[in-house]
Chains A and B, each alone.
Chain A
């Protein structure tokens, strides 16, 4: 069965630190990958997506992610985090017809 794993459950960083959140999926076929962000008390918003082409994807707010097919990974990165990046981050994968599976989420806390 398709699954998405996020190994970092809670990450605490100081402002200006670099961020990398891990995401691995288990599916051998064609996969679409997403990172969503959920700010406290709000709904999920799309940060970036990968469908095909350049495996390095740039999203909003300075985030980027790299699709590494051989590692089944789609890690999220940001060179310098801000306090306003404090949120829950979800990796998701779509395989098959319209079924999107989410990871368990990573809570990011940025300390001023």
Chain B
């Protein structure tokens, strides 16, 4: 299936831990994104990569570090997790300036 897939779908972890979320797209897109959706459903862009290069880096704590090994992958690593990091994280991709396709989301719960 052609899609944006992210793993894991659910992630429960303790404060202070380090965790990663992986994202892969097989749509041939050149741009990938990470969005955070909070408990009020507000969607905020965190990062955007185009051809493996970081082009958007919103005001996100340094504990969040994206890594793009190639155009088809954009992983998100989070250090020293805090309670406020609990949210749903969506990966998305697009081809140049066309619409974005979203992954299924990763529900992160920090306890």
Q: Which residues of A contact B (CB under 8 A)?
A: 32, 34, 36, 38, 42-46, 49, 88, 90, 94, 97-102, 104-105, 107
Contacts and interface: CB of A to CB of B under 8 A. Distances in A.
B12 interface: no
Interface in B34-93: 35, 40-45, 48, 50, 55-56, 90, 92
A98 B43 contact: no
Which one of B45, B99, B101 has the highest number of Cβ atoms from chain A below 10 Å of its Cβ? B99
A105 B56 contact: no
A15 to B, nearest CB: 23
Contacts of A36: 102
Given A99-B45, A105-B41, 6 more contacts: A32-B97, A36-B102, A45-B102, A46-B101, A98-B48, A98-B50
Contacts of A104: 40-42
Contacts of B41: 38, 88, 104-105, 107
A94 B97 contact: yes
Nearest to B94: A98
B25 interface: no
Interface of A is mostly: strand
Contact of B55 (A42, A44, A94, A97): A97
B43 A105 contact: yes
A107 B56 CA distance: 28
A26 B100 CA distance: 20
Interface string B91-111: 010101101111111000000
Contacts of A88: 41
Contacts of B103: 43
Contacts of A101: 45
Nearest to B41: A105
Nearest to B3: A43
